[in-house]
Every structure is written in structure tokens, then in C-alpha cells.
Amino acid sequence: MESTARPVPARNLTRPVHVGDVIVGGGAPVSVQSMCTTKTSDAPATLAQIGRLADAGCEIIRVAVPNTAALDGFERICAESPLPVIADIHFDHRLALESARRGAAGLRINPGNVGSWDHVDEVIDGAGEAGIPIRIGVNAGSLDPEVGARPELSLSQKLVASSVSFVEHFRSRGFDDIVLSAKAHDVVTTLETYRQLSSELPDVPLHVGVTEAGTLQQGSVKNAAGVGILLEEGIGDTMRLSLTADPVEEVNVAWDLLSALGMRRLRPELVSCPTCGRTEVDMIPIAEEVERRLQGVRTPITVAVMGCVVNGPGEARGADIGIACGRGRGVIFVGGERFRAVEEDQLVDALFEEIEQRFS
């Protein structure tokens, strides 16, 4: 396996914004977010889900605060969460004010759906008093009303114009602890929107993602395409990859994307061949078993699983550790060197014995 090492994509330098102990922007690593699917009023269930997300590598968590009945649970969640908690607010600005008082590390609001500008201003002032940032979250349903009514503009143009007007309003009140998102479910619209935002508001940290992207497979592909291109272009400071799935999957896909781009590594990378008519072992279940067992490894190593004698030994030598399979047996490579031969039915166990001894 030839070296694919290359410089990490250059990042657009935005202002640093502190979400609890996580820095968003300012050259900090791109942070990974998700959102709880539990009821915020059920604090134990929400905290349990946050714990699973934290174990998976989530760094910022957002929870819905849809009504006053959720506020007591929200307060407990903020007090006990291992991650900074952002309150997701729609329609009722009073919920944002109370969430700020009860321990939110940040607020997410849509200025286009919280009522009058007076209400928006109350939220801005409340966040300022609490010393927490606001994510301005714009989408097709929360455009600036004047911008949304302009038929000559495309959706991406409306998202950008609305975002710029909202940011300008926040800044006119002396509030600059802003993170901005302007999401669409369409990849091309997402790219057009964020490229323009990065140009027009170069110092504002951007929260990137393809919203309402779909279930695990389709949503992963759309987010990898849209967010991957943006990150490669230096656009984006934090991300949530929306999936109709367990939110842990959002975190897993986000880390796989960051790893694929060479930006951040949290867990092992599996390099495995697609199999062909040359393979003489049952390759697919071997690779799947290795992938499953690697979920418990937190060292960012590269593990190769190769299925034939044509490319296998060379590919396995390029990994930190790997196996190259032959007829009924295989060879374990460590640090580029052939280590030992193992029978096929013992390959995976032998591989993980070496991983545990050398990389745990």
C-alpha cells in the first residue's frame, strides 16, 4: 500500500467561539456534534444517550427544548452531561431565555421563526448576559421573510441573504459569539450556500451538514459528498451529519469522514480489498468480523485485510498491522514485516491478539 500521506486541507480562519470547553473556529479542529432523540423531559434517558454519544466521540450535544415541561429535565442534563449542551429552540423565545439561565452552553435558534425582532433581541441579550454563544440556524423554513418572498432568488441565494441579514442584526447589537448554519437537504444547494457564506462572512464559524439527508446509507453518502467537499475546501468548523438513524451512527460517520480526509483520527482505519475471483478464502465475513471487533479499539491505527496473493502482501505491509490471505491460511504483517503464518479459521483471533499486545 503506497503512502497516501498529504498535507491536511487548509482551513479558513474564523473567529473562535467557545461552546463549553470546546472551541469552534479559530483554527481549532473540526468538532463533531449530534442531537439527542430522547425526550428532554426524561433526563435519565437523555443522559444515557449522551453517554453513548460521548463514548463514540461526540463533542457537542444538542437537545430539544420544545416546551416548559422540558426545562427541569434540561437543567439536570446540563448539570450532569459530560458534553456541552446546546438548547434547540423554535417559536418561543422565552424557552431560550430560560435555557440560558438553566445552564445551556449555547443556544440554537432560527431568527425567522421566533417571532418579532424584539423577541430575537431578548434572546441575544440573554445569551450575552449568560456568556454563551448562539448558533443561527437558517433553513428553507426559517428564512428572513423579506428575502423568502423574492421569487427571483434561488434557494441558496435566499439562505445566504437571510444568513447575512441575521448576522448583521446580531452584530448591530454588539453580539459576535455566533456560529452559523444554513442547511439544505440537497448537496448542490448545500455547496453553493456554504461557499458563498464563507466568502461573504469569512470570519464567522460555520456549522456544516446536509440536513434531512435520509437513512443511514443515503444520508451517509450525501453528507460525505457535501461536507467532504466543503472540508476539503477549508470550509467548516463544526459539523452534524443528519441521519435518520441512531445518533451514534452520525458520530461514527463524521469521524470516518474526518479520518478519510486526513483531518482527525479517533479510531482504527480498515483497509480491505473488494475481493475477486482470485481470493481463496471467504473474504467478506473475515473483513466484517475485523470491522466489528475494531469498534472496541480506540487507537488510530491502520489495519489491512487482504484476500489474495497478488496485491495482498504489499497492501498489508503498508498498514500498521494486517493480514494477507492465501489458500486456507494467511500471513500477519506487523509494521510492514511478515510476522507469522496462521490458519484461516484462526486469522482474526490472531490478528486481534497482536493488536491488543501492541496497540492497546
pLDDT digits (tens, 9 = 90+) for 278-325: 777 778 888 899 999 998 888 889 998 888 766 666 666 678 998 888
What confidence category does residue 1 fall into, taking pLDDT thresholds of 50, 70 and 90?
Answer: very low
Tell me the β-bridge partners of 62: 35, 86
One-letter amino acid for residue 56 of the chain: A
pLDDT tens string 39-64: 999 999 999 999 999 999 999 999 99
* pLDDT at residue 169, rounded to an integer: 94
The answer to whether 30 and 237 are in contact (CB under 8 A) is yes
b (16+ CB within 10 A) / e for 225-253: bbbeebbebebbbbbbbbbebbbbbbbbb
Contact 231, 207 (CB under 8 A): no
Q: What are 246-287's pLDDT values in tens digits?
A: 999 999 999 999 999 989 988 888 888 887 777 777 788 888
Q: For the chain, give the mean pLDDT.
A: 89
Q: pLDDT-based confidence at 3, cuts 50/70/90? A: very low
Of 151 and 79, which is predicted with more confidence?
A: 79
Return the number of other C-beta atoms located less than 10 Å from residue 57's C-beta. Answer: 18
Instruction: Identify the residue with better confidence: 111 or 11.
Output: 111
What SS3 state is found at 222? helix
**Going from the N-terminus, what domains does the chain have, and what CATH number goes with each?**
17-260 (3.20.20.20), 269-359 (3.30.413.10)
322: three-class secondary structure by DSSP: strand
Of 231, 279, 213, 247, whose CA–CA distance to 8 is shortest?
A: 231
pLDDT 10s digits, 6-27: 555 667 889 999 999 999 999 9
Instruction: Give 277 or 188, the one with higher predicted confidence.
Output: 188
CB 114 within 8 A of CB 87: no
Q: Residue-wise over 66-87: b if at least 16 C-beta within 10 A, else e?
A: beeebbebbbbbbeebebbbbb
- Entry pTM: 0.88
